[in-house]
Structure 1
Amino acid sequence: MTRISEFQIKDIVNIADGKKLGNMSDLEINTATGKIEAIVVSNGTRLMGFFGREQDIVIPWRKIKKIGADVILVEHQTVFQGELKDERF
């Protein structure tokens, strides 16, 4: 069994480009099913927890590929401003 505090000290690395995304700051749990839906990754740029909320990355649980002793490997597609596509059509 693993505790949330153990997840929070692991580095989260994107396997798509090898970059460290940050550390887990929160979990999203579906209260109806009791299942973890996503992890929230903070890149550490917040000031006293007030600024930088838009910097957080939400990674669906299904995108976690491996949980190791020191690292969590995820598959995360990075989207930059200007690369966003309108998927309504």
Structure 2
Amino acid sequence: MIADLTFCELREKEAVNIADGKKLGRILDMAFTSNGTIKGLIVPGEKKFFKNISGDESIFVPWKNIVKIGEDAILVQLGEMGVICPPPCDC
């Protein structure tokens, strides 16, 4: 993983699921524990043609599922659906 990375730099990278090669989008947010440990990243969910009242769902990527942070992308390992929860989440 790349050392000394800021959130501004991190959010410019595209998250890619290595399980299916699908681009998940750029980082929207990060989730932390109460003691400051990173829980994971939040990326956009699938866009829907007709949005429902709550809008699109976001995908929570647990920190343990981040395989590599590269120069242009963040490789993650998720199952078919990932972990879907709206931010802020308690995943």
TM-score (norm 1): 0.74
SS at the partner of 2:79? Answer: coil
- Residue 51 of structure 1: CA displacement? 2.8
Runs of 4+ in structure 1 deviating by more than 6 angstroms, as ranges, are: none
Name the count of aligned residue pairs. Answer: 74
Distance 1:45 1:78 in 2: 16
- Cα deviation, 1:40-66, whole Å, max 9, x if unaligned, reads 00158499xx732x2x10010000000
Q: What is the alpha-carbon distance in structure 2 between the residues aligned to residue 64 and residue 71 of structure 1?
A: 11
Cα-Cα RMSD: 2.0
Change (3 A) 1:6 1:44: farther
Corresponding residue of 2:37: 35
Shift of 1:23: 1.0
1:67 aligns to 2:69 (yes or no)? yes
* 2:89 aligned residue: none
* Equivalent-residue separation in structure 2 for 1:73 and 1:26 (angstroms): 16
Q: Distance in 2 between matches of 1:44 and 1:10?
A: 18
Letter in 2 for 1:31: S
Query: 5+ residue gaps in structure 1?
Result: 80-89
What CA deviation, in whole Å up to 9, does each residue of 1:2-42 have, x standing for no partner? 1101111101000001110111100001122x110010001
Largest Rg, 1 or 2? 1
Compute the TM-score of the two structures, normalised by the length of structure 2: 0.72
Name the % identity: 38
